[in-house]
Structure 1
């Protein structure tokens, strides 16, 4: 029996979950309880912190799952009529990002590998991807699942595991949807409650192993930990954070592109105890100069994926695209051309893709305790979408692109539409009372360079790497 739909509203740490019948579901408006603190994870749950002062390793997406347990996805117009929110399929994203000319030319990511890194993984990921692909007429693929560390047996009563399973589902389904010819390698790590001391090292160890064994052209990371929560922040250069960069230095050496979700709390970021800093903060690995930081936009599309309004910075009341200054890393050379914006610090994001919950992505999952279709948003959506586009550029170039940021900033600095960078000039990422940054012409700390026309961008990025 297919379960009834579930409506999830972001709330405090004990997330409010409203199990609704069809009538209540159709009336749901997507409103968030006033003053509610953001929860985290693809199913609106947060991984426990080790304790005060310990960084949390959490999926980047904050306010994500609006509904789950539907029998089948419905159209955008039906979502607007029935739920007062927009919902999009992978086919609409493909149209919005102008990927059809690439697919017709045989650029599908064939011969390239996207590595997705998630704690615990999902026990039903292959089955769920098969259902997702069949629903949208996408070619099937077999996910290679690599377990790293002591991954615990599946426990549907463990909110950490079910939250990361939802994140895994989103990551795999949308990386594959954008680059249907690419191989998908899912790395499942066995993160325990000592999040800050064992979670990130496990993830970095797993990435390093794969990088140094030639596995992966693009690494998609939909997780983060706030810079401020690392031991030594503001005192000793945060050696506890910078000591974890070894995977990224190896990636640079091997020509592997590494992506990181910019987060879903706008200019703010999460504290170690599950709240929000009341002043701007940033998260790692998105803030790392060796990582391409992926922020969030809100798309307004019709049922065919055609834009009916320009993209804006994601800030829909359910979350907002991360962005701002790193307080650990100084400005990298590739950002010298935008020094007036970033100052002496590394600025994020670098680029932005669809992340709005009002305009979220259809996903399918069947792991216990539920089964069915849901609408999910967050920069955990934007990051795998962009990983697919980078994989297309890898195929177009005929080789790995490595750190794409120098090329990305050179392309953005050209100000030429032929490079496929589409400026986002409206919206801001102020969130929960924390002053954010406004989008404007050119590079900004709310959307980076903006978003992309996929075909032009892939061609230009591949050409820039020759």
Structure 2
């Protein structure tokens, strides 16, 4: 459940809480509209806890790669059919030999840090060292007060004076991660919600694994004995799960209940809010449950960062830990890092490395070089996600903008998973009682890009938002998608019909209210287009997870964060075909396959009733920014994917 970046929330959180809360708000406050907008646009801030001299913490030393551009090109080449290096995947140690720093450099760093009472872990790629120790030793070694640390032009300087690091070691350093996260200027907006019970009137329907299997033609693969056996699916987590929940879910879904298939790897991380670390996290629970049911005999490995806030360092370490083990053939993350505006603000405050984007690219490209299929949820705020534009006291100032790029979800080295809504028809009634959604009859005729504009008729000329302003919290629910202009259009997207062109309609006003009957817009743009693929993610037509809350055991859920782990599971299923090499990074192939006559993709190209609240389909193309290349016929994908 990504509290800061995505709406990947349970229906019990996203929908029912609306029905429950609005009467309470009206009873105790004369201005519920103001309260609603305040929660959306000026949430409280999380600030780091001050560290003491004997507090143990961690940071990363990122070493300079030898020829980063060649490494990135190699990562694409090994995943591109027809290239001489196709499928010549590298191990982490082979990546060190080709692109990382030598063992003599990393051994010298280990020795130097040990002399200063600091422990270190060197990753096999020769590009990353995680350092752990007491704050007093870090302060002394790097001439810094970690509670005031800021970045300078010298990558090793965080105080008034640069530390006296030997030049041969200093010259090997690209940047450090995590040094600024104890500074009170390092802030995150709090957009959290609490779990509530869900009732039948808060969603159209909610299914299980079979819903995904049936809609996307998975059964023929199961019939061939492809179940994920022998494969491991990685899950990036910022919370842990109750093992019994996964057991009960897998038992219900007739997946393997041999619980030795589920393991946890602890990730070294820097702590920001220790009181928020969860051992029963809803997001991790649904990721593990569905990865392990869609791939019913695959191993599931949770890479757990013991920090509820996904900082750049913690995200890098989670992926680096997984890649360093080289056990997983696919991996999924339902977490992001916030919008580019938030990260730019932290960079300008000198508490985030100015090189964070390039570091992220390099680490994620490592997964592609190793032949790991990497999936990331595209986000659940549509094409106009929230951006943090400033800070006032203990509050963040947020706005929605198509330029609020989420750099993790739209990174060129992940397969970004967008959302759809399945067909449904339901009469929700018009009751304003708690637990009800007074939308009347709502129908979706066929699978479409996920955007809740299908609810707009209920708002038109009804005054419903004025009566129930808490409904504003759900009007922005949609699959993430758009343009990441921070990077160039990747090679695999160049020349693809629909890439860098768009159709769009304005579905939301500047104040997050529904806009009716907007004209169709046409235009061009640049950068990394996302998402890449899509699957059912709308909470309204979502999935049940086993996650007991009070007397309720099965809770309805949704979001692109439940679609992404199912994609990773399908990579494991296809990888389990006897004699098949790892699928590797999907994007090197899927854009070419989408342009073939036997394409396994179904693009959603209608320009009406098919949006992520801005972008729509593009008739006559294979791609749009609302749902990417579209949904997947997995039996056909397994046939045509090399």
SS in 1 for 2:499: helix
C-alpha change, 1:242 and 1:150, in structure 2 (3 Å) is closer
C-alpha change, 1:132 and 1:252, in structure 2 (3 Å) is same
Q: Find the counterpart in structure 2 of residue 322 from structure 1.
A: 480
Q: Find the counterpart in structure 2 of residue 98 from structure 1.
A: 217
Q: Find the counterpart in structure 2 of residue 140 from structure 1.
A: 257
Q: How many residues align?
A: 404
Q: Establish whether residue 256 from structure 1 lines up as the match of residue 256 from structure 2.
A: no
2:629 aligns with one of 449, 454, 458: 449
Distance 2:283 2:217 in 1: 26
Q: Establish whether residue 437 from structure 1 lines up as the match of residue 626 from structure 2.
A: no
The correspondence of residues 18-417 of structure 1 with structure 2, limited to 5 A, is: 18=20, 48=46, 56=188, 68=197, 79=200, 82-83=201-202, 85-122=204-241, 124=242, 126-142=243-259, 143-149=262-268, 161=278, 165-191=281-307, 199-224=311-336, 225-231=338-344, 239-272=355-388, 273=396, 275-300=398-423, 309-316=445-452, 318=474, 319-338=477-496, 341-342=499-500, 343-366=525-548, 372-396=553-577, 398-414=580-596, 416=597
Deviations 1:181-221 (A, max 9, x none): 2110011102266x5xxx23122223212212222111101
CA contact (8 A) 2:12 2:556 kept: no
Structure 1 residue 251: deviation in Å? 0.7
Distance 1:311 1:457 in 2: 19
CA contact (8 A) 1:327 1:345 kept: yes
CA contact (8 A) 1:115 1:187 kept: yes
C-alpha change, 1:349 and 1:9, in structure 2 (3 Å) is closer
Distance 1:57 1:112 in 2: 37
Distance 2:267 2:321 in 1: 10
CA contact (8 A) 2:237 2:302 kept: yes
Structure 1 residue 120: deviation in Å? 2.2
CA contact (8 A) 1:257 1:404 kept: yes
Distance 1:220 1:6 in 2: 21
Structure 1 residue 355: deviation in Å? 0.5
C-alpha change, 1:349 and 1:7, in structure 2 (3 Å) is closer
Distance 2:190 2:294 in 1: 24
SS in 2 for 1:449: coil
The TM-score normalised by the length of structure 1 is 0.75
CA contact (8 A) 2:421 2:536 kept: yes
Distance 2:376 2:334 in 1: 6
CA contact (8 A) 2:238 2:305 kept: yes
Structure 1 residue 132: deviation in Å? 1.0
CA contact (8 A) 1:257 1:403 kept: yes
Structure 1 residue 438: deviation in Å? 0.7
C-alpha change, 1:208 and 1:332, in structure 2 (3 Å) is same
Pair member with larger Rg: 2
Structural RMSD (CA) = 3.9
Distance 2:211 2:38 in 1: 28
C-alpha change, 1:356 and 1:190, in structure 2 (3 Å) is same
CA contact (8 A) 1:218 1:258 kept: yes
Distance 1:274 1:141 in 2: 48
Q: Find the counterpart in structure 1 of residue 13 from structure 2.
A: 8
Distance 2:185 2:632 in 1: 38
C-alpha change, 1:226 and 1:36, in structure 2 (3 Å) is same
The TM-score normalised by the length of structure 2 is 0.56
Moved more, 168-177 or 227-236: 227-236
Q: Find the counterpart in structure 1 of residue 137 from structure 2.
A: none
Structure 1 residue 53: deviation in Å? 8.4
Structure 1 residue 37: deviation in Å? 6.5
Structure 1 residue 314: deviation in Å? 0.6
CA contact (8 A) 1:281 1:324 kept: no
SS in 1 for 2:314: helix
Structure 1 residue 369: deviation in Å? 6.6
Structure 1 residue 232: deviation in Å? 6.8
Listed as ranges, the gaps of 5+ residues in structure 2 are 1-9, 23-32, 49-182, 389-395, 426-443, 454-473, 501-524
SS in 1 for 2:296: coil
Q: Find the counterpart in structure 2 of residue 305 from structure 1.
A: none
Q: Find the counterpart in structure 1 of residue 131 from structure 2.
A: none
SS in 2 for 1:358: helix
C-alpha change, 1:192 and 1:447, in structure 2 (3 Å) is closer
Structure 1 residue 298: deviation in Å? 0.6
